[in-house]
């Protein structure tokens, strides 16, 4: 394949949307200005199909989105002048390009490793997750040290950036369940440094212009002071932070959405009980450190699991969250268990997402919970905390 031929094929593939991914590596000259690796992939923006050039430097990753006609020229220029090799994935073939010292390309055509439908889905998911796209200089991300002033994500903050976007993706999915005819009240229990609290406010109040009031609660006064000062600098006048304990918090009598991320052990249960009591339309909880069930769980059939400390710990955590979800379902909530972030970033990656439905409390779900609870010998705090909400037929 001649230089003209591979260049024309790449430009055609980009123009038709058939280029699924390109990875460029090994610079011909280390001049410090170009990234050692560049990844090219299609993205769907409001303006239509674009190609995102992701530049990987030693200490940062930057992004550039180009329309197909510019992307084709950019890709050909990078390959012709700056890189020694590239792997380009298309629906019908993978192309491996290897450049000699004179810049002549040897092109190897291999069977495809990325199918068009899967790649399209991945592209859609990627855009959906990145509610705050790279290159969008969100003020709160700059203040929190995740982005530079020009919207580039700091290399060491890539995991946090992905976590924030994953969280906002899950929020976007449940927006239809929130009331539309009144201001929204949102409470974030155990907000900590409040990366996700600020992200939630940015999405709803800044981007979507929703009428909201967001309250962040945490036990650490110094953290709350930091968050309050940051909210003032950003001009987030409907975002407030308070010092307090979840179980004792009574500053509001109703809330539309309750968020609790990594509240330890039964603090998660206290937050779930508050949410149910306030009639929250949406509950989003990432539990942490479920010690209660670990101390109680017993079942002779499960001895191979329960006799091993590590396995018992993991089983107890899963059993606790399964019971929590079952109890919420018994009260009429629709519940999903989601992977919050990739397990490689944190093992505490399970999110309980519940939305209030019009369904009546379910005796079947309650009986299912009771059978599960008794089989494992559990006495769980959440059941007691929700005692005022159990219908009379549940107590027989």
Is 254's pLDDT higher than 70? yes
Name the band, by pLDDT with cuts 50, 70 and 90, for residue 133. low
Query: What phi and psi, each to the nearest 5 degrees, are found at residue 191?
Result: -70, -25
Inter-CA distances, 270 with 54, 233, 263, Å: 43, 32, 9
Q: Please determine, for residue 273, whether its predicted confidence score (pLDDT) is greater than 90.
A: yes
pLDDT-based confidence at residue 120 (cuts at 50, 70, 90): very low
All domains in the chain, ordered by first residue = 3-129 (no CATH), 155-395 (3.40.50.150)
DSSP designation for 285: E
Distances (CA, A) of 206 to 124, 127, 232, 238, 283: 24, 19, 15, 11, 22
CA–CA gap between residue 61 and residue 152 (Å, rounded): 7
What's the mean pLDDT in 321-325?
Answer: 96
pLDDT computed for residue 58 by the predictor: 77
Tell me the pTM. Answer: 0.67
45 pLDDT more than 50: yes
Query: Is residue 368 left, alpha or beta, with left meaning phi > 0 and alpha meaning psi from -120 to 50?
Result: alpha
Q: What average pLDDT does this structure show over 112-141?
A: 61
pLDDT for the residue 1: 60
Q: What value does the mean pLDDT take over residues 386-394?
A: 93
Tell whether the model's pLDDT for residue 23 goes beyond 60.
Answer: yes
Cβ contacts of 88 within 8 Å, gap of 6 or more: 10, 13, 19, 21, 22, 23, 94, 95, 96, 97
Query: Is the pLDDT score of 277 beyond 50?
Result: yes
- pLDDT > 90? residue 39: yes
Per-residue pLDDT of 183-234, as tens digits, reads: 999 999 999 889 999 999 999 999 899 999 999 999 999 999 999 999 999 9
213 bridge partner residues: 185
Higher-pLDDT residue of 42, 119: 42
Angle among Cα 112, 61, 32 to the nearest 5 degrees reads 100
């Amino acid at each position: 394949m001649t230089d003209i031929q591979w260049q024309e094929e790449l430009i055609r593939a980009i123009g038709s949307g058939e280029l699924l991914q390109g990875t460029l590596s090994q610079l011909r000259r280390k001049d410090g200005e170009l990234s050692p690796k560049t990844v090219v992939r299609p993205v769907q923006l409001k303006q239509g199909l674009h190609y995102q050039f992701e530049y990987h430097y030693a200490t940062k990753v930057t992004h550039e989105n180009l329309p197909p006609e510019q992307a084709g020229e950019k890709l050909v220029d990078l390959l012709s002048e700056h890189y020694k090799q590239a792997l380009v994935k298309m629906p019908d073939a993978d192309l491996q390009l290897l450049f000699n010292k004179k810049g002549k390309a040897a092109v190897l055509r291999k069977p495809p490793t990325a199918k068009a439908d899967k790649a399209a889905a991945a592209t859609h998911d990627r855009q959906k997750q990145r509610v705050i796209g790279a290159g969008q200089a969100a003020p709160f991300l700059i203040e929190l040290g995740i982005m530079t002033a020009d919207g580039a994500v700091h290399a060491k903050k890539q995991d946090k950036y992905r976590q924030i976007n994953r969280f906002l993706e899950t929020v976007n999915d449940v927006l239809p369940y929130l009331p539309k005819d009144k201001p929204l009240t949102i409470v974030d229990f155990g907000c900590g440094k409040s990366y996700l609290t600020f992200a939630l406010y940015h999405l709803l109040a800044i981007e979507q212009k929703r009428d909201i009031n967001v309250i962040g609660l945490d036990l650490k006064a110094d953290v709350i002071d930091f968050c309050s000062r940051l909210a003032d600098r950003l001009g987030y006048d409907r975002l407030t932070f308070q010092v307090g304990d979840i179980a004792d918090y009574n500053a509001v009598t109703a809330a539309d959405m309750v968020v609790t991320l990594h509240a330890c052990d039964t603090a998660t249960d206290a937050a779930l009980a508050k949410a149910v009591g306030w009639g929250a339309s949406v509950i989003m909880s990432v539990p942490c450190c479920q010690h209660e069930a670990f101390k109680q769980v017993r079942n002779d059939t499960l001895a191979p699991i329960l006799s091993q400390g590590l396995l018992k710990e993991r089983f107890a955590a899963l059993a606790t969250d399964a019971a929590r979800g079952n109890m919420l379902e018994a009260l009429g909530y629709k519940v999903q268990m989601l992977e919050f972030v990739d397990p490689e970033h944190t093992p505490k990656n399970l999110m309980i997402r519940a939305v209030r439905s019009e369904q009546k409390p379910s005796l079947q779900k309650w009986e299912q919970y009771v059978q599960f609870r008794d089989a494992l010998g559990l006495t769980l705090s959440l059941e007691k905390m929700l005692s005022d909400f159990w219908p009379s037929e549940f107590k027989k």
